[in-house]
Chains A and B, each alone.
Chain A
Amino acid sequence: DGGITQSPKYLFRKEGQNVTLSCEQNLNHDAMYWYRQDPGQGLRLIYYSQIVNDFQKGDIAEGYSVSREKKESFPLTVTSAQKNPTAFYLCASSIGRVGNTGELFFGEGSRLTVL
């Protein structure tokens, strides 16, 4: 089955620790995204990548970092510099600019709690 896999589903972190969230897709999509979801605020874009070895900051990139070494993988690191990291994180992918219908395909999400 094609789709997006995020892991772990739940993660607990102590203050001051970095943590990395995994996102893998087998849809052969060029573009991948990381969103943060907070109650009452919808989804906000953290980082996106349109192609391997290239990524751009979204609206709330401070305290986060990403890499895109492979087409299938787009891991997100939540660093100790992120002041309020407790949230639900969603990874998504899309075809990219060519043949773009605008549809995003989402993973099941990772819930990060800072203790």
Chain B
Amino acid sequence: AQTVTQSQPEMSVQEAETVTLSCTYDTSESNYYLFWYKQPPSRQMILVIRQEAYKQQNATENRFSVNFQKAAKSFSLKISDSQLGDTAMYFCAFMIQYNNNDMRFGAGTRLTVKP
């Protein structure tokens, strides 16, 4: 069974600084996707960034980037130039390719950006 672990229940960062959220996962599969989802307070959960396991290059979306270490089964999220609007719960998720009825989520990290 696939498991996703987020070891940091809460984190905080000063506005404009950089923060890294950790995620590890366990699987015996070779083809899979990894995701970071953001859930702002009282708002919809949205996809932040996505990584295909077969791609060696780390995904980047504007201020958000990942450090994907396949051998170590690690998938951390780096947020650069943190903004107040980045305050949210962040969930790491794993899905075997073409099997999105089995998306596995971590417990989440609550990030607070301080002014």
Residue interface mask B71-85, A partner, CB < 8 A = 1: 000000000000000
B101 touches A42 (CB 8 A): no
A42 touches B98 (CB 8 A): no
Q: How large is the interface on B (under 10, 10 to 19, 20 to 34, 35 or more residues)?
A: 20 to 34
Task: Tell me if B103 is interfacial: C-beta within 8 Å of chain A.
Answer: yes
Residue of B nearest to A38 (CB): B107
Nearest-neighbour CB distance to chain B for A108, whole angstroms, equals: 5
Q: A101-B50, A102-B100, A103-B50 are in contact. Are A40 and B95 (CB under 8 A)?
A: no
Nearest-neighbour CB distance to chain A for B50, whole angstroms, equals: 7
Residue of B nearest to A40 (CB): B107
Other A-B contacts than A100-B98, A102-B50, 10 sampled, CB-CB below 8 A, are A31-B101, A42-B4, A43-B105, A45-B101, A58-B101, A101-B33, A102-B97, A103-B35, A107-B44, A108-B43
